[in-house]
Amino acid sequence: MIPRILAVLAALTLGMAALAEEMKMAVTTSFENSGLADVLLPAIKEDLGLDVQLLVVGTGQALRLGQAGDVDAILVHSRAAEEAFLVEGYGTHRREIMYNDFVLIGPAADPAGIAEAGSAIDALRRIGTAEPAFVSRGDDSGTHKKERALWAEAGLSPDTFGAWYREVGAGMGASLNTAAGLDAYILADRASWLNFGNKGGLALLYAGDPALFNQYAFLAVNPERHPHVRNDLAVQLENWLTGPRAAELINGYTINGETLFIFNAKSQ
């Protein structure tokens, strides 16, 4: 019996060989949820012969992964945190790639009336006054940081809010699931919202204020800090991401006919 079982196990456990060059890049949940990666990664593989392995995490963890040298590059959207990352010498430089925008989602009936708001700040003030259920990512992600910044600009502090303000400490999709379950307001990136399959009674209520724009930047991990990182591959990838093929794919990417990202990398 035992030799037979071992033979079966051995057959099953044989590793799956990887032949192409590989690098690891930490990206934010919102980027992965947009579905853009499914378009870009095959093109990268085609053009560069490079397998980019994505670690889908919050911005906070993405930066930590870069600091620890566990990834070769990061693609995130939280400028202040990115600059701190550079100042501490963990990255070589920051390269802007593209932006998309955040949207305010809420119950279709819109009890706080944010659809008529004049600005994103005004929309948040209305929510702060009406105190409807509001779901916050609460996971230190780029989206979460953006939300905190907007509250601050509106002169409000989530730490003083009552039970209507719920920090779920989860990714975008899980947070949207929660919001759908609670019929709550939530700040989401447009891509995640469009790709989200369980909208329930939620609707897009407010968008368009430039204050809601969301800049993505690429940062290669500093090889002086972590000699083992594949900086050569990260540089190749950066060049590709800022090049014409990427521009075409990013600007041409739509969900339900809506454009999601605007390519805005400056050539060096």
Partner 1 sequence: MNDIYDGLVSAFWLVVTLDADLLEISLRSLQVSLSALVIASAIALPLGTFLAIRRFRYRRLTISVLNALMGLPPVVVGLIVYILLSRSGPFGVLGLLFTPTAMIIAQVIIITPLIASITHQAMRELWAEYHDLLISLNTSGWQRIKTLIWDGRRNLLTASLAGFGRGIGEVGAIMIVGGNIDNATRVLTTAIALETGKGDFALALALGFVLIALAIGINISIHWLSRTEREGRW
Which region among 54-62, 97-105, 150-158, 252-260 touches partner 1 (by CB under 8 A)?
Answer: 54-62
Residue 94 Cβ, how far from partner 1 at the closest point, in Å?
21
Q: What one-character DSSP code corresponds to residue 187?
A: E
Considering only residues 21, 43, 48, 51, which one is a binding residue for partner 1 as defined by CB under 8 A? 51
Residue 113 Cβ, how far from partner 1 at the closest point, in Å?
26
Considering only residues 69, 138, 158, 223, which one is a binding residue for partner 1 as defined by CB under 8 A? 69
Residue 102 Cβ, how far from partner 1 at the closest point, in Å?
18
Which region among 4-12, 91-99, 115-123, 203-211 touches partner 1 (by CB under 8 A)?
Answer: 4-12
Residue 97 Cβ, how far from partner 1 at the closest point, in Å?
20
Which lies closer to partner 1 via its Cβ, residue 32 or residue 110? 32
Residue 49 backbone zone (phi > 0: left; psi -120 to 50: alpha; other: beta): left
SS3 146: helix
Interface map 211-230 toward partner 1 (x if CB under 8 A)? ---------------x-x--
Q: Which of 215, 230, 216, 221 is closest to 93 using CA atoms?
A: 221
Q: Which of 161, 150, 177, 145 is closest to 76 using CA atoms?
A: 145
How far is Cα of residue 37 from the mean position of the Cα atoms in its chain?
11
CB-CB contact of 116 with 133 (8 Å)? no
CB-CB contact of 175 with 192 (8 Å)? no
Distance, CA of 212 to CA of 192 (rounded, Å): 15
Residue 118 Cβ, how far from partner 1 at the closest point, in Å?
31
Longest alpha-carbon distance in the chain: 74
- Using CB under 8 A as the binding rule, whether residue 68 contacts partner 1 is answered as yes
Considering only residues 43, 48, 70, 211, which one is a binding residue for partner 1 as defined by CB under 8 A? 70
Considering only residues 134-173, where is the footprint of partner 1 by CB under 8 A?
A: 170-173
Distance, CA of 53 to CA of 216 (rounded, Å): 18
CB-CB contact of 142 with 191 (8 Å)? no
Considering only residues 197, 210, 257, 267, which one is a binding residue for partner 1 as defined by CB under 8 A? 197
Residues contributing to the site for partner 1 (CB under 8 A) = 1, 4-6, 8-9, 12-16, 18, 22, 24, 29, 33, 51, 53-57, 67-70, 170-174, 176-177, 180, 195-199, 226, 228
